[in-house]
Amino acid sequence: MRMTFRWYGEKDDKITLQQIDQIPGMDGIVGALFDIPVGEVWPVEPLLHIKKMAEENNLVFKDLESINIHEDIKLGLPSRDQYIENYIISLRNASKAGIKMVCYNFMPVFDWTRTELARPLYDGSTVLAYDYHLIAGKTPQDMAQDILSNSNGFVLPGWEPERLKELAHLFEQYKGMDEDGLRKNLEYFLKAIIPVAEEVGIKMAIHPDDPPISVFGLPRIVKNEDDLDKIASMVDSESNGFTICTGSLGSNRQNDIPHIIRKFGRMGRVNFLHIRNIQVHEPWVFNEVAHKSLIGNLDMYEIVKAAYDINFDGPIRPDHGRMIWNEVGRPGYGLFDRALGANYICGLWDAINRSCGQK
């Protein structure tokens, strides 16, 4: 596996590449072009600039998260073909900059959803949390305002201001859209882009819905093993793969994450791993915690062992961390706890490797 760290760029991340390089076992960064509006072409030059900065700090830059998908593609509007063409050009440009994996999602309107960005834990650390009881009685606009007001001044992925300006219009457009309709539009998109991804050597990795349940009545189609089966069958290619996000899938206790990793890994479809732990209090009421198995509901050993068993050699990153040690930053994306998480994962991998007779 290659240990990676999500980085928001020199303009919008207080964490430096030098600090990331100082995390033991860190191989590279997962980046993106955050100033390019959704649907427009990503040029190659700024990607090469990120690559140069990474290499100057002993890091590689092979992985993107995310080239976001325009809502017209998800909605299946006539204009989608132009946005798909732009996406294809972006993939070709990314390949020229050495990119090998692109994470993306197909969630309508919002990406991930949380009801709290700084829930205090017993030790004074704060975490992201979701409570479906708190969604009741709120409008999408209320939720957006809560997110923006508690983001510590940082732009959060999936909650960009230009996207939120269109909330009312977008919800009107999605009226009547069910899972089958959204799934049909995903298949149309994949059949257009996967042949190009294969051609240029990029593996696509769709991210699970977060949380994997309908929010504000919007359809969700990447929730569980059955959904992944349907997506895998749309285009038979290792470039049509998955990001296995343990926190997203794990918020539904019915999802057997080690089994999912082994099943789709043996098909060559696990292209990216996001590893974090969560504590589920009741269905659709959960908060994030430190990575250690005993603290949350997910067995990190079994998850990492599953990745080891499929000989996973792709990117892994520690996902959302707690805010600890008085750090102030982008909620879920501080330095300290994610660095601890990376080393916990590396420690598990090393122990499994040694116990299997490798050195």
Active site residues: 207, 245, 274, 319-320, 333
Q: Which of 40, 41, 63 is nearest to 50 (CA)?
A: 63
Q: Are 112 and 212 in contact (CB under 8 A)?
A: no
From 51, 15, 14, select the one nearest 33 (Cα to Cα): 51
Closest CA to 68 of 179, 206, 195: 206
CA quadruple 75, 76, 78, 84: dihedral sign: positive
Question: Are 128 and 116 in contact, with CB atoms under 8 Å apart?
Answer: yes
Radius of gyration of the chain (CA): 19
Please report, for the chain, how many H helices and E strands are present, in that order.
Answer: 14, 12
CA angle 50, 52, 55 (to 5 degrees): 110
The Cα-based distances of 52 to 29, 47, 49 in angstroms read 12, 9, 5
User: What is the enclosing helix (H) or strand (E) of 30?
Assistant: strand 28-31
State yes or no: cis peptide before 95, omega within 30 of 0. Answer: no
